[in-house]
Structure 1
């Protein structure tokens, strides 16, 4: 039985075929005419990447980087941390990274996965070109500006198997990480932009308890390693001994030690164990203008949330024009929950969270556990029907459709 990386979701596909090359992908697609779907580094917490037929395991489809005109072409199964190391060796960078460098480029961009920063778009916003195989094993390429690009960029695996992507690069840069403690909820909710704008990338870790918001983890881009940082943030102070994720051993360097972007923007090291393990994750995106009210709604549910929770993380993502992005057409605050492995308990609290966030048109993370279905998602994703039509046009026989995509409205039932 194949499970996701945390061991908390099992895939039901009767067959999993590894692909080590593009030709392997095309061979597997051509082997029969039944359902097929791509599987990345298994960082989804739902049946989004599952199928009733054959899963194509793309984890071995990695490496083979190529630079051209400020872009890097990367195969879909490549982990972000591996790509980042290769770019840093050439004094290049990406605009941002997610908290886990172990996630694959193909899977992360297909689900709108993100890092943080008021001015930083989701990881998919770096994509300039997509090369993919369709249901007949034909290879296509779409570029930013092409008619279908904004639908296919956050494409959920719903229209084909992404083989490689072209990502925009920029010159390398350095970052330091500092943690502020003691910021009160009253101060934070009254000046939330001051918190989320305190650095290039900011994460707030909270357990929804007491009067303190928790820990504000600020990643500051520095021109010089001795650039000073503020000693206070609102009513909180710099805490050189803080451990926002407890005593997890594989967290990237804190305490203000500058380093290259690829060793500071993720929360976890590529050579370590990401997050807590044995966990379930959920995440919802609300417009930043609604963020204080949405956070207060979560505080009102704290008694239901805390017994099931490892930690919550709050991050911001800049607006984009990608149809199924969680930040489509609005700057957003992401409210993330890392749950203990209690499927029944989590399944019981998610409807309460979703009801509380419904007035704010909260969008769920496509790869994390939620209970929203087609009608509810169409209400919060205004381009869902148009994206579905694009997917149906590219895959009229429904080879890449599955129960999850039908449930959330990304594909039509068959």
Structure 2
């Protein structure tokens, strides 16, 4: 969305009564996702400023979806009927220091929450590569950071509140609701409108970030686990050319009184002498501080600063999870497609994610490697390359990121989730008439 459109829409959200379709105040401009590749199917957008208003809207309309931070690249959050915006529901509700938990409104952005927590002496266990995304949306799609011992962002969820299709407010917690909770956290927007999320927190910590260049690809054969375990969070960036990893980003916790030195080499890669962007041609001014300068966790764990446009801006994204035990074989399988991939690629990122027990998470029951692709915004070309990548990864049972682009067939996708049948039973219980279903859910979860 253009800045002008965003500003007008933001003003509309603040000034408009709950029952006015907000998009009517932005005539002639369709709502798009942040990258501009996806145009939403309706301009009927309503604002809710309280749980009661959410319940009123849910009861009023037969079909409804939540329009969040619009960072998804596909139609997972789309609606042909009505959107509800929770833009005004973005506050910290409660900080329970004794239990080490924080409860926030669903539309709270990580970039808003993190400095608040740090100011109180607390931190989250991890953050995604950019802090612009909403808590509820990120958790609903199992969005993640990196780290061999770090689960995705949804693993921090200890409780949530949501409004189901009949307007009822349900409260679920990890301690009390067992399987229902494990099904509801990564909910794909299918169960209702999430209004509040409770997250685990821990004492704040400092992080330094060091970047290395030109890691020989063959180092992964014998040293993959050691390379990815070299910091609290490690990311590898590659364009799949020249048999090398372009950049290795190592984020290490800095404990009080400890002294960390960055060695000049890291498994054959050379220590960078200046701040770098993952895409070499782009200035690093948008990126979080590197060069081993310690800083608060929330200013180092993301790759991009809150106040700047993340990544390249105009792009497409795809991502596939494979079992970490197959990581090197999967990487080498993709590397064989380098001449098909590179003409359409901006950059790829390789990250590790710990296993979890959330039914619809891409890392359900398997420590994972995520192979991420940031593409040029040319869907005609990318749509031809994705099936090749999916075929190369087929021996490893790839699970695509729910919020990104893929072409995997519904039967194959469904076969990767052993709790899918149980998840659909819960969806039927919470939303018997399909109020929150849309074309994406119909084709992926219910398609054949």
Q: Do Structure 1 and Structure 2 share a fold, with TM-score over 0.5?
A: yes
1: distance between equivalents of 2:221 and 2:428? 43
Give the equivalent residue in structure 2 for 1:15: 44
Shift of 1:391: 1.0
2: distance between equivalents of 1:240 and 1:137? 56
Shift of 1:21: 2.6
Q: Which runs of 4+ in 1 moved over 3 A?
A: none
2: distance between equivalents of 1:263 and 1:158? 33
Residues 31 and 43 in structure 2, CA contact (< 8 A), matched pair in contact too: no
Indicate the SS of the match to 2:245. Answer: coil
2: distance between equivalents of 1:371 and 1:248? 32
RMSD: 1.4
Indicate the SS of the match to 1:214. Answer: strand
Once structures 1 and 2 are overlaid, which stretch shifts more, 50-59 or 226-235? 226-235
Give the equivalent residue in structure 2 for 1:86: 116
Q: Name which of 95, 103, 108 aligns with 1:73.
A: 103
Structure 2: 5+ residue stretches without partners: 1-29
Structure 1: 5+ residue stretches without partners: none
2: distance between equivalents of 1:184 and 1:117? 21
Shift of 1:235: 1.5
2: distance between equivalents of 1:159 and 1:187? 44
Q: Name which of 197, 201, 208 aligns with 1:165.
A: 197
Shift of 1:94: 0.3
Shift of 1:244: 4.1
Shift of 1:242: 5.4
Residues 205 and 244 in structure 1, CA contact (< 8 A), matched pair in contact too: no
Structure number with the bigger relative contact order (C-alpha 8 A, sep ≥ 6) is 1
Q: Name which of 81, 98, 110 aligns with 2:128.
A: 98
Distance change in 2, residues 1:267/1:352 (3 Å): same
Give the equivalent residue in structure 2 for 1:124: 154
Indicate the SS of the match to 2:270. Answer: strand
Length, aligned pairs only = 411
Give the equivalent residue in structure 1 for 2:212: 180
2: distance between equivalents of 1:333 and 1:390? 29
2: distance between equivalents of 1:314 and 1:412? 30
Give the equivalent residue in structure 2 for 1:297: 333
Q: Name which of 192, 197, 218 aligns with 2:229.
A: 197
Scaled by the length of structure 2, what TM-score is found? 0.89
Once structures 1 and 2 are overlaid, which stretch shifts more, 19-28 or 143-152? 19-28
Shift of 1:58: 2.2
2: distance between equivalents of 1:128 and 1:412? 31
Q: Deviations over 1:348-397 (max 9, x none)?
A: 11111111111100000000011123211122222122211211111111
Give the equivalent residue in structure 2 for 1:215: 247
1: distance between equivalents of 2:427 and 2:207? 39
Residues 189 and 292 in structure 1, CA contact (< 8 A), matched pair in contact too: yes
2: distance between equivalents of 1:298 and 1:412? 28
Indicate the SS of the match to 1:314. Answer: strand
